Amino acid sequence: MAQPPFQRFLDAHRDDVWRFLVASVGRDAADDVFQETFLSAMRAYPRMRQENPRSWVLTIAHRKALDHFRARKRRAVPVGDLPEVPAPEGPEPRDDGVWERVHALPPKQRTAVLLRFAGDLSHAEVATAMGTSEEAARRNAFEGLRKLRQEMT
Partner 1 sequence: MTEDRLAPPTFDPADAAAAAKRFAASAPADVHYALVDSPVGTLVAAATPRGLATLSYEDFHGGVDAVLDNLATKLSPRMLEAPAKLDDVRRELDEYFEGRRRDFDLKIDWALASDFGRRILKATAAIPFGEISTYGKVAAKAGNAKASRAAGRALGANPIPIVVPCHRVVGTNGQLTGYTGGLHRKVALLQIEGIVLG
Instruction: Choose between 41 and 80: whose C-beta lies nearer to partner 1.
Output: 41
Told to check if 50 binds partner 1 by CB under 8 A, we report no
Contacts of residue 100, defined as CB under 8 A and 6 or more positions apart, other chains included, come to: 26
Told to check if 56 binds partner 1 by CB under 8 A, we report no
Told to check if 113 binds partner 1 by CB under 8 A, we report yes
Question: What's at 143, amino acid-wise?
Answer: E
Query: How many helices and strands in the chain, by DSSP H and E?
Result: 7, 0
In angstroms, give the least distance from the CB of 144 to partner 1.
Answer: 9
Told to check if 135 binds partner 1 by CB under 8 A, we report no
DSSP class of residue 45 equals G
| Options 67, 124, 142, 143; binder of partner 1; rule CB under 8 A | 142
Q: How many CB atoms lie within 10 A of CB 87?
A: 8
Rounded distance, CA 147 to CA 62, Å?
21
Please, are residues 23 and 114 in contact by the beta-carbon 8 Å criterion?
yes
Positions that interact with partner 1 (CB under 8 A)? 1-8, 10-11, 14-15, 17-19, 22-23, 27, 30-31, 34-35, 38-39, 42, 45-46, 95-96, 98-99, 113, 117-118, 120, 142, 145, 148-149, 152
